Structure 1
Amino acid sequence: MGNVNLLAVFLGALAFFVIGALWYGPLFGKTWKDLIGYDGDKLPYPASKNPMPVIMGLAFLLELLVALMLGHNIARTDPPPWVIMMMATGFGAVIMTPALGIHYLFQQRPGKLFAIDAGYFVVGMAAMGGVFVAFA
């Protein structure tokens, strides 16, 4: 078993975070806000009292946790680059996306919102995988 590459973990989480900034900003930000009912002033449901820097910081910490798990799996198996990409994208496509889908089914959220959020997980995880391949 190899050691977890902590630089790749940090940079992989950072890549995921940057994809999120693009995904929920210029790419799908307006549609996403419309789908969640954000009118530019307030959300249609009681929102967290946490300031945005706290929310962003916690999101990054959670992305670090995902990256650490991926890094652990890579260190345990020492896979070739194409398998790293399969693992990373697979996390997004067949673990994170179905979990999100189950959650959205019970919340009766729109399919278009699911597609935006699930797409972020798959593309973000692929970006994370790319970082791990670069540092393999």
Structure 2
Amino acid sequence: MPKLFGTNILIILLAAFLFFVLGAIWYGGVFHDQWLELTGVNPDPEGGAQVFVIGFVIVLLQALGIAGIVSMAPNKGLRGGLKVGMLSWLFFALPISAYAWNYEERSVTLLQIDAAYLLVGYLIMGAVYGLLRKE
């Protein structure tokens, strides 16, 4: 099976899929009403499936990025994967979310919802790589 960053492409696709499913649960279920109210997003987007295809591509790019960082990390296994997920969230995802929150004058609650989703998603991807990636 082909590899990217020393990681089997199926593992990368699994990590992306799990992150995408988390988003469906997070925004489509747990925080659905609150998120819609805070963002003003139309629950029935005009783009239909296109919105979700683009969303999956965005998630896949993040999964590729985490795979690349995991491949360079000195610590391997579950602990190493979780560490990469946490640090990637702390130094990349959280600041980008906070930057948007700051300049777009959005609700702190929205920042918390989005940042927590990214944290859980990055930890899931890190765990997948830590557990399934073989050197």
Distance in 2, matches of 1:67 and 1:80, equals 17
SS of the residue aligned with 1:120? Answer: helix
Q: CA RMSD in A?
A: 2.0
Q: How many residues are paired up?
A: 128
2:75 is the alignment partner of 1:79: yes
Query: Unaligned stretches of 5+ in structure 2?
Result: none
Structure 2 CA distance for partners of 1:130 and 1:36, relative to 1, 3 Å: same
Higher relative contact order (CA closer than 8 Å, sequence separation 6+):
1
Deviation at 1:26, TM superposition (A): 1.6
Match of 2:32 among 29, 38, 45: 29
Distance in 2, matches of 1:14 and 1:94, equals 23
Calculate the TM-score normalised by the size of structure 1: 0.83
Match of 2:52 among 38, 51, 56: 56
Structure 2 CA distance for partners of 1:3 and 1:113, relative to 1, 3 Å: same
Which residue pairs with 1:44 in the alignment? none
Large movers: runs of 4+ above 4 Å:
38-41
Q: In the TM superposition, what whole-angstrom CA distance separates every residue of 1:58-105 from its partner, at most 9, and x where no partner exists?
A: 111111111112112222346322121110122123311111111111
Deviates more, 1:91-100 or 1:11-20: 91-100
2:15 is the alignment partner of 1:12: yes
The answer to whether the 8 A contact 1:88-1:128 is kept is yes
